[in-house]
Structure 1
Amino acid sequence: MNNIISIVCLCCISAFILAGCKLTTPTSNDTDAVLSALATENKTQLSDKQPALVLQPTIETPNVAIPAPPETNLWQVIADNLAFDVVPTPRLHKRIDWYLAQPTYLVQVNKRAAPYLFHIIQRISQRNMPMELALLPFVESDFRPTVISAQQAVGVWQLVDATAYHFGVTSDPWYDGRKDVLAATDAALNYLSYLHKRFNGNWLHAIAAYNSGEGRVKKAIERNKKLGISTHFWHLTLPKETSEYVPKLLALSYLLQKNHPNFTLPNVVNYAYTTQLDVGQQFDFGLLSSLVNIPKQQIHQLNPGYLRHQSSPQGPHKVLLPMTEKQLLQSRFFKRHFSQTYTVKKGDTLYGIAKRFNTKINTIKLLNNKSSSLLGIGEVLILNKAQKTDSLLVSYEISPYLVEKKRPKPATIEHYHIIKTGDSLWDISQLYDVALKDLLTWNSLKTHSILNPGKTLVLHLPKPQQATKPQKAKQYLSELEQLVKPENGPKP
């Protein structure tokens, strides 16, 4: 009997040792060894039912995150939830080498990303999308909110005007939503979700299409089908930029998954230390700065989508502030401008009050310093609600140096364009030097509308300027001079 027990114990110990060997991550600096180890792994393929990231436990409502202990690293949360199956190829080899040659790359770029990263991760998690998408702004733009590419793609997600407009990002002389990191994130994730469906759940195809266009990737897939070869991303013939773009993302994902010893992970606390506030009305950055006691320059830096010292009259009026949700809700500024009171009645519950006033249970608790859900009849609660009684705009009579000169709208004339075969909305907008969104508005069209040859589009083009009075006078004198000038020398 003792022999049997000894044999069983020995088998268990052996199995444990073997399991430990299998889970050991290669620490060699040699990229070939790393890729070789990767090739032998049997990693589960990412499916449409990718498990959602669990950031923090919640209280009574599913979308309210509780701040994690400061020692929890947000980048470790990202690394733990990456799940793409990485296939070793020469292109991947090249990108891994590139990152390892710049071991502090993420640390440097993260300085720009830190105020927004927690919010981006929450949005991706709530949509049940792969965590690799959180790395796209690093691959796209090195997380530079105001960068503009040669193809006129703007912001951390590098959105072109037509895509941004189609997925709900607005732009005007006051505000460019492509530079608004959180607004652009919503549009980019909507676009990626659309591409994921268009490419039958293939994320690599969707990400490639995000970079080079849906049509180009579809043509590459159809070409391979006709040739009877694999349509996997690695076998597609795509532009050089795209063929390097996806491997760059996968290489970064791999290094994070493996916690490579020669690639430094940034250290960011795993909770939101910036909070978005919907002011609900046009506001002035200077006045907002004085009310919340935060330097105006700092607010501008966090909100690069706003192009002036005021929000646009047409909105949006959301502003990201460098404070936690608790700090914001308990500030004098919030209680004065964004709160109301409610007296608890018999039968009231926190859930019922939150639902009635379109708020969250956690928000009510934070506003009222409540640690429990117990309510007392007659208890006065503070609830959030934007008040528009006090103007959040500076009086320009008092501060004339802030006055903006109103530019008169230029006079326009109607012009009609007859659609020809091969015309596209983008080509027509470029031909007449008008904004694509204006062309769509004038003709009640959408970016995906089909143009039928022979139909007519209306455009409102700037009216040609008439000659000014001095110019007319100069022209008149010139003509008069020609009339009185001798034609054939001096008169006899």
Structure 2
Amino acid sequence: TGRFIDQREDAIFLGPPGTGKSHLAQSIGRAAINQGDKVTYREAHVLLEELAEAAPADGVNGDVPTPDKAELANAVTWDIDVETFNDHSRVQWYLKFFQGRGRERLNIWLNRMPRYEPMIRERLQREGLPGDLVYLALIESGFSNTATSRAKAVGMWQFMKATGKHYGLRVDSWVDERRDPYKATDAAARHLRDLNNRFGSFYLAAAAYNAGSGRVSRGLRRLPGDDDGEGLASDATFFRLYDTKLLRRETKDYVPKLIAAAVIAKEPSRYGFTVTPAEPIPYDSIVVPTMTGLDVIARLADTTLAAVREMNPQYLRLTTPPGRASVVRIPAGRGPTTVAAYAELPANRRVTFVEHVVARGETMGGIARRYRVSQSMLAAANPKVKPSRLRVGQMLIVPTGGGISTSMARRMAAPTAPAGTSTSGYHRVRRGETLSGIADEYGVSQRDLRRWNALGKAGHIQAGQRLRVAPPGRSGATAAAAARTHTVRRGETLTGLAKRYGVSVDALREANGMSPEATLRAGAALKIPG
């Protein structure tokens, strides 16, 4: 009579094979859909398994949506075979896991994805690969460029060092291109292409990406029912391997985890995830001819060091490597002005550094340890100096970009006006800057800044405000050069002040008549040698 349709009741169709149960279920389902109801189909044995697993182990909540083949086929489009294997028990386990204990982590990953998804899909498709393999990066790293595994795989695509180098990625103490989302994606696409050509299956290629092609090949050769490992080029073969002990548990779980993550990522709102729409971050690329500090580039581009670092995670030392040209990404629209400003930058201002005068008995290794930089980094910054022939009084450049805070790096730079302002005695306030920081940068007092800019006692400033940083008639550069004294604050040390002003500790002691045993006193006026 169709009463159970009107009352929206569940129905179970029983009978021997070939009696038309599926056709009858589909017809009744269409009738229910026509009156505005939703219909879910389940095979009886699958339904029984789901009921048996209604409270799965490990605290995973079983009361969550689990789509069937019909829903998947009608809801979204796929270019990997999700519909065939969605009912696999381990895929269902991960679907529940991601909606339970793994929800918070997956939600973070899904909100990172829009920044990179268009770029990754386009690159995969150029290699003849399905764009849905983008979800490999989702389960590998959650689209984190700085992710590092226990096995020391690095970056969004979790390349091991040897594999990354094989596909042309530079990995050394200066640069790790496994952390570069664009170069690493290019390498990953070529790697997956090679694996797919070898195994003839996207899921076997994914398993080999995780475990290594040798392990998967050995598993295929030992697979029961196939003596030579040939004729197994299909996604179903992976699930045959799954039912054996020929793969490690991590690799067995890799493809089910990929499928479950893909199902949720295609329709996050259906599974209760909120993904904020985001566009890929636009950028300009500039080429710097040799070693240049990222803080210097940030100043020239009128942006923050944090922004430049986020766009260039491959640079490990807060500076580009010495002896070669490097590409640096900066916020879109800043390229032409940054290139012009860089062209006017003196070569000795390209890196934030400390000048060290060699004393008797000092070695290159000892100096490197003193400033917490590597000996190779120190040698690279001083190409004309022979480490075995240091001379007393010789000047060394110590690049400190990798070992100091952002604010300290900015203060160590020469006291000149930042990019975007002239040296005529004015400074354009950036977000996050304070009056005390600006005073320190230009070597003037806060009291003078308040007086020259009529700021009042509170000294409130805001981003975009134009401040006078020198008395009328004097440029900012002249004022900074003239004011070379520092009032010592509680907790400051000679070593810290030497790094800040780019001089040696010995030079500070000599300029202030301090003995080797003398210590700093809060409130004391310290002369900074020119």
TM-score bracket for this pair, using the shorter chain length: 0.5 to 0.7
Match of 2:103, SS? coil
What is the correspondence of 1:275-424 to structure 2 with a 5 Å cutoff?
275=283, 277-282=285-290, 283-313=292-322, 315=324, 317-321=326-330, 323-324=331-332, 327-328=333-334, 332-333=337-338, 336=340, 394=349, 400=355, 405-406=378-379
Match of 2:328, SS? strand
Q: Give the Cα–Cα distance (whole angstroms) in 2 for the partners of residues 82 and 389 of structure 1.
A: 51
Shift of 1:389: 7.8
Q: Tell me what 1:90 maps to.
A: 89
Distance 1:397 1:173, change over 3 A: closer
Q: Give the Cα–Cα distance (whole angstroms) in 2 for the partners of residues 19 and 312 of structure 1.
A: 66
8 Å contact kept, 2:285–2:329: yes
Q: Tell me what 2:281 maps to.
A: 273
1:166 aligns with 2:174: no
Deviations along 1:407-466, one digit per CA (max 9) or x if unpaired, are 79999xxxxxxxxxxxxxxxxxxxxxxxxxxxxxxxxxxxxxxxxxxxxxxxxxxxxxxx
Shift of 1:268: 2.5
Distance 1:18 1:205, change over 3 A: farther
Letter in 1 for 2:109: V
8 Å contact kept, 2:91–2:260: yes
Q: Give the Cα–Cα distance (whole angstroms) in 2 for the partners of residues 123 and 184 of structure 1.
A: 11
Shift of 1:300: 1.4
Q: Give the Cα–Cα distance (whole angstroms) in 2 for the partners of residues 227 and 300 of structure 1.
A: 51
Q: Tell me what 1:134 maps to.
A: 134
Match of 1:319, SS? strand
8 Å contact kept, 1:276–1:318: no
- TM-score w.r.t. the length of structure 2 is 0.49
Q: Give the Cα–Cα distance (whole angstroms) in 1 for the partners of residues 320 and 202 of structure 2.
A: 37
Shift of 1:163: 0.6
What is the correspondence of 1:429-448 to structure 2 with a 5 Å cutoff?
none
Q: Tell me what 1:109 maps to.
A: 109
Letter in 2 for 1:205: L
Q: Tell me what 2:476 maps to.
A: none
Shift of 1:391: 6.1
- Identical-residue share of aligned pairs (%): 24
Distance 1:392 1:98, change over 3 A: farther
Q: Tell me what 1:232 maps to.
A: 237
Letter in 2 for 1:277: S
Q: Give the Cα–Cα distance (whole angstroms) in 2 for the partners of residues 293 and 183 of structure 1.
A: 26
Distance 1:184 1:274, change over 3 A: same
Q: Tell me what 1:222 maps to.
A: 221
8 Å contact kept, 2:144–2:155: yes
Gaps of 5+ in 2: 1-26, 43-49, 55-61, 357-370, 389-530
Q: Tell me what 2:207 maps to.
A: 208
Letter in 1 for 2:326: H
Match of 2:285, SS? strand
Shift of 1:251: 0.3
Q: Tell me what 1:38 maps to.
A: 68
Q: Give the Cα–Cα distance (whole angstroms) in 2 for the partners of residues 315 and 116 of structure 1.
A: 28
Q: Give the Cα–Cα distance (whole angstroms) in 1 for the partners of residues 378 and 314 of structure 2.
A: 21
Shift of 1:164: 0.5
8 Å contact kept, 2:301–2:338: yes
Distance 1:395 1:152, change over 3 A: closer
Letter in 2 for 1:183: K
Shift of 1:18: 6.5
Distance 1:333 1:232, change over 3 A: same
8 Å contact kept, 1:288–1:392: no
Deviations along 1:68-112, one digit per CA (max 9) or x if unpaired, are xxxxxxxx9xx7666433411111111111101143433323565
CA-based RMSD of the aligned residues comes to: 4.3
Aligned residues: 308
8 Å contact kept, 2:94–2:260: yes
Distance 1:91 1:314, change over 3 A: farther
8 Å contact kept, 2:111–2:275: no
8 Å contact kept, 2:293–2:318: yes
- TM-score w.r.t. the length of structure 1 is 0.53
